[in-house]
Amino acid sequence: IAADFTVLAGTNVLSKGGERRQVLQYVIHPGYDPENNYENDIAVLELLSPLTMTGYMAGVTLPSQSQVTEGGVTSTVIGWGTLFGDSGGPLIVREYQAGIVSWSVKPCTQAPYPGVFTEVAHYVDWIRTITGVRQTN
């Protein structure tokens, strides 16, 4: 049930600061099957009310379908990194969200074991269909 979920944004401390929003609804990709693999590890949340983009919060743009992230590109993971339990965190390249933290072999990504991300560019059409958001450039 969507009402059982809350989003906390703009802080890294659960007990204070930031903005809390109830989730109005969510859509999990229909091809996601965590029992067999982690393909299509993506979902869209709709909040009950919008966040105020102030302080430590900012919006990001979706990549185009052609903006598939190549190896060696400088990027930033927001949050605590790719530790166990950080699934869903954004991977940002320049001004757009290139990926979503999915999983890792070890509880915390350690060489030689990579962290694995969902490539957002592969899901842009699906996201736009679910949200009704259209490309603006």
* Tens-digit pLDDT string for the chain (137 aa): 888 999 999 888 889 989 999 999 999 999 999 898 889 999 999 999 999 988 788 888 999 999 998 888 999 888 766 666 678 889 999 989 999 988 877 667 677 777 889 999 999 999 999 999 876 65
| Residue 75: domain span | 2-131
Instruction: Return the percent helix, strand and coil in the chain, to nearest 5.
Output: 10, 30, 60
Within a domain: 137: no
**Pick from 31, 21, 34, 42: which is nearest to 127 by CA?**
42
pTM for the structure as a whole: 0.86
**What's 40's domain CATH number?**
2.40.10.10
Count of the separate structural domains present in the chain: 1
Q: Minimal CA–CA distance to 102: which of 83, 122, 124?
A: 83
Q: Identify whether 60 is part of a domain.
A: yes
